[in-house]
Structure 1
Amino acid sequence: MVRLARSEVFDPDEIAIAHTCSRTVRRCFLMGDDPFTGKNFDHRKMWIEQHLMHFAQNFSVDLLGYSLLSNHMHLILRTRPDVVATWSDNEVARRWMMICPHRRDDDGLPLPPTEPEIRSIAGCPVKCAEIRKRLSSVSWWMRLLCQRVALRANREDEESGHFFQGRFHATRIVDEASLLACAAYVDLNPIRAAMAETLEQSDHTSVQRRIQSITANRSNCIPAAKRRDSFLTPVTIDERSGEIGPCVSKSGKRCSDKGFLPMSLKDYLEMLDWTARQIAPGKSGRTPADTPPVLKRLGLDGTTWCELVSDFGRLFCTVAGRPECVDPLRSLRTHRRYHLRRRARELLARTD
């Protein structure tokens, strides 16, 4: 089946959540431990995390979760055109110049733009409008991230050509159940791949960052801006009593302070641990008898949930969600229906 153009799925003027995946060429182990050459490229995951922090601070895109493995990476991104709409033209120009700087310091870090550099964008309404759209675009985030990692890795290996396969894969998330399954799928990737036994040992993942922040905060009261997960979107969203609107970040380390799941971080971590014990039977510890309350509220039994989490990448292609949420949707330009695979329909039909 022909893949739809990104513009058919994502409207630049609407808030949208996307699960993205980029794989290295021929799925070679170019970002981790390569068993064939004996080389280790784990330091490249640190490059990516540095870029994620920098992008989260300057793009109008929320980083909900990520996991970096040896030959691919998963991100969950939420576009925020409502946040970029609150920025002045000068702020739009400044942020873009921090992402694509004209000048860098001796360590390669971007230098703050000068007034003439800011005016070169802010003073041109057409250019400024285009940059404003780019700042809330998943495509531009992924384009610049993959490009910079590829250039640096090729320079290190004294190679040329592609580092990542073709274009990145993106799936639009359209309901709460699929978002929760996607978040668990991404955070549990190292455990599913037998690269880690516990959430705490899942290196280069968003869940490890969140756990490290909790652990550090127990012994020392750490300011929000200095937490290990300060660049990540908070897990919890309270739609009844929480703040409405853009919720622009107070720390400046991320786009906004708006969460994405109707549950506490503690409940989310417990749900991940419960799920890990189901999909990785050899994992030590006692498995609770009952499924987590959030799954009961969503009408998902344990078997269905574990298959959704284990096979999320295969179950959903262009759009992920319950059939009743996906079927009414149409592509933005050609108005075609989105395809939902049969197994996904069968699994989610059980909750009707």
Structure 2
Amino acid sequence: MTKARSSLISIDATPYYHCVSRCVRRSFLCGYDELAKQNYEHRRGWIEERLLALAGAFCIDICAYAIMSNHYHVVLHINADKSKQLTAHDVAERWLAFHQGPTLIHRFLAQDTLTDSETERCHTVIETWRERLMSISWFMRLLNQHIASEANREDKCTGHFWEGRFKSQALLDEKALAAAMAYVDLNPVRAAIAATPETSDFTSIKARINAIENEKTATKGLFPFVGNPRENMSEGIPFRLMDYLELVDWTGRQCREDKRGQIDSRTPPILNRLGFDSAEWLDAYKHAQKGTLIGTKSSIKRALSLLGRKRLCGFRLPAS
């Protein structure tokens, strides 16, 4: 039975979520369709472009993404602090980047003379938009509706492009975040579409590696890595970028068919900090898509009441 979105997403439980959308009938509507002999590869670029554009307007950060031939994965971070810091004008301008908006709001932005009741109405509408700028449901809606419209226009047809509403998975702690991000970034390698992370097109891992190669300090549109947790740390993913890249590279090597069962004795240091041994990590990575909750038993227990649930369910990671 379909679960209410409120039981799947709650910023009080965690700001991190792994979301997946799949094309209708699992068709290759974003890649090369062998049956129809049609190439839709360019649509993967549409999704990547729209994804990054929405991240620039919403108070939702992209930690990782992978856009495949018939589905895409994205790990998102709800940035409540960013939302609180936006002025009313900031909120309105961000929302109107993707919507027409009422005339009254345009007058407000143009600093026309408004009555007290009109000003109050503007602030009420804008506060609703502020909440929506933190909503993963609205983020995914604007992403998927746009791509479906563009694809149907190109195909000169109507009907569903996506299989159904997106699936979401709450990432309740650092372990869950690392496993989900690695799972997403290694999608093309796991599917044998790419040999290495740096050759995986339409992925966040390739974008981050390209930024390093071009001597850039940040990757446009992506939530930055800010190092291991500490006091007064800046906002970002709580790992060192080079540690994470090493982890992804090592994980990809272990999961190749010709390396099955052969574990390198030298494991990445980040695993020690997260409290994984190599076997536990590979199991977590391989099953990171299971369930709607992922985290240690204690993390899942803490999240249940916040998500309005009673039963201890989800994919449990080993405790440190």
TM-score, reference length from structure 2 = 0.88
Q: Give a deviation string over 1:170-228, Cα, whole Å, max 9, x none.
A: 001101111100010000000001100011110000000001111111xxxx5x6xx6x
Residue 232 of structure 2 corresponds to residue 233 of structure 1: no
Q: Once structures 1 and 2 are overlaid, which stretch shifts more, 232-241 or 147-156?
A: 232-241
Tell me the equivalent position of 1:259. Answer: 236
Tell me the equivalent position of 2:247. Answer: 271
Residue 163 of structure 2 corresponds to residue 189 of structure 1: no
- Aligned partners of 1:31 and 1:69 also within 8 Å: yes
Tell me the equivalent position of 2:126. Answer: 128
- Aligned partners of 1:7 and 1:332 also within 8 Å: no
Distance change >3 Å, CA 331–CA 13, structure 1 → 2: closer
Distance change >3 Å, CA 15–CA 302, structure 1 → 2: closer
Q: Once structures 1 and 2 are overlaid, which stretch shifts more, 327-336 or 87-96?
A: 327-336
Tell me the equivalent position of 1:47. Answer: 46
Distance change >3 Å, CA 13–CA 266, structure 1 → 2: closer
Tell me the equivalent position of 2:115. Answer: none
Q: Secondary structure at the match of 1:171?
A: strand
1:11-50 → structure 2 map (5 Å cutoff): 11=10, 16-50=15-49
Distance change >3 Å, CA 118–CA 204, structure 1 → 2: farther
Tell me the equivalent position of 2:295. Answer: 321
Q: Matched residues in 2 for 1:141 and 1:297: separation? A: 33
Name the amino acid aligned to 1:164: W
Distance change >3 Å, CA 161–CA 55, structure 1 → 2: same
Sequence identity of aligned pairs in percent? 37
- Aligned partners of 1:33 and 1:41 also within 8 Å: yes
Tell me the equivalent position of 1:303. Answer: 279
Aligned residues: 310
Tell me the equivalent position of 1:216. Answer: 214
- Aligned partners of 1:53 and 1:231 also within 8 Å: yes
- Aligned partners of 2:23 and 2:70 also within 8 Å: yes
Residue 169 of structure 1 deviates from its aligned partner by: 0.2
Q: Matched residues in 2 for 1:43 and 1:269: separation? A: 27
Distance change >3 Å, CA 193–CA 121, structure 1 → 2: farther
Residue 281 of structure 1 deviates from its aligned partner by: 3.7
Q: Matched residues in 2 for 1:178 and 1:333: separation? A: 17
Residue 239 of structure 1 deviates from its aligned partner by: 3.2
- Aligned partners of 1:93 and 1:118 also within 8 Å: no
Name the amino acid aligned to 2:142: L
| RMSD of equivalent CA atoms | 2.6
- Aligned partners of 1:20 and 1:75 also within 8 Å: yes
Match of 1:171 among 160, 163, 169: 169
Distance change >3 Å, CA 301–CA 238, structure 1 → 2: closer
Q: Matched residues in 1 for 2:191 and 2:119: separation? A: 45
Residue 142 of structure 1 deviates from its aligned partner by: 0.2
Tell me the equivalent position of 1:70. Answer: 69
Residue ranges of structure 1 left out of the alignment (5+ in a row): 103-112, 245-257
Residue ranges of structure 2 left out of the alignment (5+ in a row): 112-117
Distance change >3 Å, CA 304–CA 8, structure 1 → 2: same
- Aligned partners of 1:79 and 1:136 also within 8 Å: yes
Q: Matched residues in 2 for 1:79 and 1:122: separation? A: 27
Distance change >3 Å, CA 99–CA 213, structure 1 → 2: same
- Aligned partners of 1:12 and 1:137 also within 8 Å: no
Q: Matched residues in 1 for 2:13 and 2:312: separation? A: 18
Residue 40 of structure 2 corresponds to residue 7 of structure 1: no
Name the amino acid aligned to 1:148: H
Name the amino acid aligned to 1:149: I
Residue 311 of structure 1 deviates from its aligned partner by: 2.4
Q: Secondary structure at the match of 2:63?
A: strand
Residue 127 of structure 1 deviates from its aligned partner by: 1.3
Residue 144 of structure 1 deviates from its aligned partner by: 0.6
Q: Matched residues in 1 for 2:139 and 2:57: separation? A: 10
Residue 322 of structure 1 deviates from its aligned partner by: 0.8
Tell me the equivalent position of 1:255. Answer: none
1:244-255 → structure 2 map (5 Å cutoff): none
TM-score, reference length from structure 1 = 0.81
Q: Matched residues in 2 for 1:121 and 1:277: separation? A: 59
Q: Matched residues in 2 for 1:60 and 1:121: separation? A: 24
Q: Matched residues in 2 for 1:116 and 1:127: separation? A: 11
Distance change >3 Å, CA 36–CA 133, structure 1 → 2: same
